Amino acid sequence: MKHLTCSILAAASLLSPAMVSAATEKATVRLDINAIDSTVTIPAEIYGQFAEHLGSCIYGGLWVGEDSPIPNTSGYRNDVLQALKDLKVPVMRWPGGCFADEYHWTDGIGPKENRPVMVNNNWGGTVEDNSFGTHEFFNLCELIGCEPYLSGNVGSGTVEELAKWVEYITAENGPMARKRKENGREKPWKLKYLGVGNESWGCGGNFTPEDYAGAYRRYQTYCREFDGNKLYKIASGASDYDYKWTDVLMKKAKDHMKGLSLHYYTVKGWNGSKGAATVFDNDDYYWTLGKCLEIEDVINRHDSIMNGYDPDKKVALIVDEWGTWWDTEPGTNPGHLFQQNTMRDAMVAALSLNAFHRHTDRVKMTNIAQIANVLQSMVLTKDDKMVLTPTYYVFKMYAPHQDATVVPLDVETTTRTVRDGRTVPTVSATASTKDGYLNVTLTNIDLDNPADVTIPLADIKKDMVEGEILTAKNIDDYNDFGRAEKVILMPFDGFKASKGNLSVNLPAKSIVSLKIKL
Ligand code: AHR
């Protein structure tokens, strides 16, 4: 299968860092329009979200309950609901994360007053009252118009429990369907994406890969397809550099799965300080981009192991947790993973999405962690206030790439070697076509210098192009409650069309999207 090629030609990689940052970057983005293959698309699911019972992701973030003074629709807060509709969320993973392997779905159905409480042992010992359960999640997906992605409990649950959950959700008739109907939902929901455990090498049961492969085969057997519902079963995969896990799972269970997951966080390390979300120097910034881009090497290595067992790429790699992980904000519960989100996070989102676009032959879904108030969120909420993060705006800018046809491209740009020896291109790009438009998204990571980007495009005229830009005065700028937004999407017209070239002046530390009428 043909797929996006993006070779970064390191034209000036031999220049010293000082020389690199002394002048306007000159970059060329060559779109290979003639090589477009209409079968090579960017699955909308690359833009997936993840909502866990963790801190105020669900409670306060998505759900406030029908009796809340915060404006809501059947318990879902209106401001967040609208923001997520605007984002065109394609798929949402729930209820965890680590929470999933301690969650018993029967606790979250039926009259709220009868639902048992539990302690959320993974996340700060918070008391969970189960008022947000299966019905609340599936109804939310219907309201937003996204596919539900369920994470089943393998670590502390039973085969029967998971089998009955699938039946409760998807069967037209029978004992589980009757129970669902008694609880107010006549029609079954559709359930496509089913995760069988989460991080089964750790919080999901501390399995060895061999033991988990056996458990996976057993659990998934009893997850039946009722009344025309088709399941896309996803096995719990590796954490970043754990290639053995992928090897064993592919060897022992590949014929029983549609997807194998991968978790990769842009994080300094798991022990000690991860660094503050809003306080960092230039060196830290560039390091972060190097670490985030390493996901591409990691995908390549997992992919090549999978190729050994599955050269036709029938099993997808599902990156169902990714994003930045910083220290929690001072004064917040350390178990709640609440962090701010700056223009640096926006850069991580853009570079990661570009990387996923380059691997759609194997990577069919990703889910950024997480949708609200946890890690690299789309929205932050405080009482009745909501803030859209810089990352939210990146997802908004990139939405036209969902289900679009990939346009192969080459980027000629300088590169920068960052702390730890990783290499980061100054200018990155991604492009796709859909509905008669060519959408090109450009990123200039340089903190000081603009980039003059030339895009050869026959017959291009300025009035065929509409642009938007995301940038900020400072790379550590962020949006906060009770003040005007500092990082916001703005119209952009810093481009000229002449003699078959679109010339774009890309400001320092900016992300630009161009919508070009074909
Ligand atoms: O996203 C936060 C946590 O990170 C998830 O619960 C877990 O799967 C991962 O370790």
Q: How far apart are CA 203 and CA 278, in angstroms?
A: 29
pLDDT at 377 over 80: yes
Residues listed for the chain: 518
Q: What is the pLDDT of residue 22?
A: 57
Ligand 1 atom 7: residue of nearest CA: 97
397, 388, 396, 395: which is closest to 486 by C-alpha? 388
pLDDT at 58 over 90: yes
Ligand 1 atom 5: residue of nearest CA: 97
Distance 424 CA to ligand 1 centre (A): 27
pLDDT cut 90: percent of the chain above it:
94
The atom of ligand 1 lying closest to the CA of 204 is 8
Distance 98 CA to ligand 1 centre (A): 6
Distance 351 CA to ligand 1 centre (A): 21
pLDDT at 15 over 60: no
pTM, full prediction: 0.95
Q: What is the pLDDT of residue 1?
A: 24
Binding pocket residue ranges, ligand 1, CB within 6 Å: 52, 96-98, 198-199, 321, 369-370, 375
List pLDDT tens digits, range 386-417: 999 999 999 999 999 999 999 999 999 999 99
Write the DSSP string, 271-294: SS----SS---HHHHHHHHHHHHT
List pLDDT tens digits, range 426-460: 999 999 999 999 999 999 999 999 999 999 999 99
Q: Which amino acid is at 505?
A: N
Residue 461: pLDDT band (50, 70, 90) is: very high
pLDDT at 9 over 80: no
pLDDT at 20 over 60: no
pLDDT at 227 over 60: yes
The atom of ligand 1 lying closest to the CA of 265 is 4
- When pLDDT is averaged across residues 115-143 and rounded to a whole number, the result is 97
Ligand 1 atom 9: residue of nearest CA: 97
- Across the chain, mean pLDDT equals 95
Cα-based distances in Å from 306 to 162, 231, 294, 363, 439: 27, 21, 19, 12, 31
199 noted as active-site residue: yes
Instruction: Name residues whose C-beta falls within 8 Å of residue 11's C-beta, 6 or more positions apart in sequence.
Output: 412, 413, 414
Q: What is the pLDDT of residue 18?
A: 36
Ligand 1 atom 8: residue of nearest CA: 97
List pLDDT tens digits, range 69-80: 999 999 999 999
321 noted as active-site residue: yes
Give, for ligand 1, the residue of 52, 149, 270 to mutate: max count of ligand atoms closer than 8 Å to Cβ.
52
Contact of 335 with 55, CB cutoff 8 Å: yes
Contact of 272 with 329, CB cutoff 8 Å: no
Q: Return the H-helix or E-strand segment holding 348.
A: helix 343-357
Q: How far apart are CA 389 and CA 387, in angstroms?
A: 6
The atom of ligand 1 lying closest to the CA of 97 is 6
Give, for ligand 1, the residue of 53, 94, 98, 375 to mutate: max count of ligand atoms closer than 8 Å to Cβ.
98
Q: What share of the chain is helix, strand, coil (3-state, %, to 5)?
A: 30, 30, 40
